[in-house]
Structure 1
Amino acid sequence: MTSITDPNMSDAFTSAMEEIHNTHLKTYGEIIDMTTELCQSHKQFVKSGHDTCLKKCKDDEMLFETIQMFKRDLVQKKASLKGKQHAVSEMMSEIQQKEMQKDDIIQKIGKLKEEQAKRKELIQSQNKANKNRLRKLQKARVVFQDHLGMEMRTILGKTQLVKGEKLQFVFRNVNPSDQECAYVVTMGIKEDGTYQIVSSDPVLECLPVLESRLQETNNLAAFLANVRKEFISRARC
């Protein structure tokens, strides 16, 4: 066995320790270099991640602002749409009302046309009846004027009671003591074509009865004859 005091052994040991030390230093240096490289790589990775996160945050903020803007715009559009729907509803209601008014007006126009046609027929019928009455009046006028001294006048009433054109029959030769004394009866024609006695002078109490008989018989000559008889009877009292 070699003695530890052997100089060669000491040198060999020292050389071995130096070699081990150099190996360890080399390995340590490699570890340091690797650690440094890993640190740099980690820093770059962290910086890249940080930058990515910042960009993502900014993108998210812009996206959030865009979403909020879209939400506000959507709320405004909903409010505008609601207003337009309300306006459309009111317009449709107004159109329906106008359509109903249109139908009502058309019905009223139709009724007015029917009433106008009936009124026209009535006027034509009244005109025809009035012409017949006028002919009868002319005949009665001739008879009474020539034989009984009666005068027929056309007068225009000024009061509401006798408003319109009336006929006034003036009888003379009634009172034997005063042949020129006038006895008067005033009458007209209603809208329905019937006779209407307005007044008499002097007043005859039986005049309403004579008027009712005239409306039943439509015999004007007989009515005037009866009126004359009543005036004669009154004059003799």
Structure 2
Amino acid sequence: MASITDPNMSDMFTNSMREIHNKHLKVYEEIIDTTVELCQSHRQFVKSALDTCLKKCKDDEMLFDTIQTFKRDLQQKSVSLKEKQHAISEVISEVQQKEMQKDSLIQKIEKLKEEQVKRKDLIKSQNKANKDRLRNLQKARVVFQDHLGLEIRTIQGKTQLVKGEKLQFVFRHINPADQDSAYIVTMGIKEDGSYQIVSSDPSLECLPVLEKRLQETNNLPAFLANIRKEFISQARC
């Protein structure tokens, strides 16, 4: 066994320690290099991940902005659609009202046509009745004017009640004491074609009864004869 005091032993120990130290340094260097490489790789990975995240955030922001734009456009289109639907509803309602007005006007026109036909028939009937009355007046004129001194006058009514053309029948030869004394009955024709006795001078109490009988019989000569009898009876009282 070598002695500790052997000079070679000291050198051998020193060399061994140096080799061990060198090995450890080499291992440390390798660890440091590996650590540096790992750090650089980690930095690159983190930088790449950060860039990817930033790009993703920007893409997400753009996507969010696009979504918001689509939402605003959709809201505007929804409002516009509602306005158009409201306008369409108003137009439809207006068209329906005009259709109802059209139907109402058509009904009114048909009713007016029917009333016009009835009015024409009524006018024809009234004209016929007036012609009959005119013939009666002419007959009465022949009987009374030529033989009994009856005078027939045409007058124009001024009040609303007796508005329009009227006839006055002036009777004479009633009062034996005064043959020229005038006894007057004023009459006309109503809108329905019936006779209307306006007044008598002097007044006769039975005039409404005689008027009703005239309207029932349409016999004017008989009416005038009865009026004359009543005037004679009143003059002799």
Gaps of 5+ in 1: none
Residue in 2 aligned with 1:84? 84
Q: TM-score, normalised by structure 1?
A: 0.89
1:114 Cα offset (Å): 0.5
Residue in 2 aligned with 1:98? 98
Matches within 5 A, 1:60-139: 60-139=60-139
The code of the aligned residue for 1:208 comes to P
CA distance in 2 between counterparts of 1:43 and 1:153 reads: 135
The code of the aligned residue for 1:42 comes to H
Residue in 2 aligned with 1:146? 146
Matches within 5 A, 1:196-207: 196-207=196-207
The code of the aligned residue for 2:30 comes to E
In terms of mean alpha carbon deviation, does 58-67 or 202-211 score higher? 58-67
In terms of mean alpha carbon deviation, does 89-98 or 145-154 score higher? 89-98
The code of the aligned residue for 1:206 comes to C
Residue in 2 aligned with 1:32? 32
Gaps of 5+ in 2: none
CA distance in 2 between counterparts of 1:20 and 1:97 reads: 111
CA distance in 2 between counterparts of 1:41 and 1:117 reads: 110
The code of the aligned residue for 1:199 comes to S
Residue in 2 aligned with 1:210? 210
CA distance in 2 between counterparts of 1:20 and 1:120 reads: 144
The code of the aligned residue for 1:111 comes to K
CA distance in 2 between counterparts of 1:18 and 1:24 reads: 10
CA distance in 2 between counterparts of 1:231 and 1:59 reads: 122
CA distance in 1 between counterparts of 2:89 and 2:53 reads: 52
Q: TM-score, normalised by structure 2?
A: 0.89
The code of the aligned residue for 1:134 comes to L
1:152 Cα offset (Å): 1.2
Residue in 2 aligned with 1:46? 46
Matches within 5 A, 1:215-234: 215-234=215-234
CA distance in 2 between counterparts of 1:56 and 1:25 reads: 45
Deviations 1:119-159 (Å, cap 9, x if unpaired)? 11110111111112112211221221111111112211001
User: Pairwise CA RMSD of aligned residues?
Assistant: 2.2
1:9 Cα offset (Å): 5.6
In terms of mean alpha carbon deviation, does 27-36 or 112-121 score higher? 27-36
How high is the sequence identity, in percent, across the aligned residues? Answer: 81
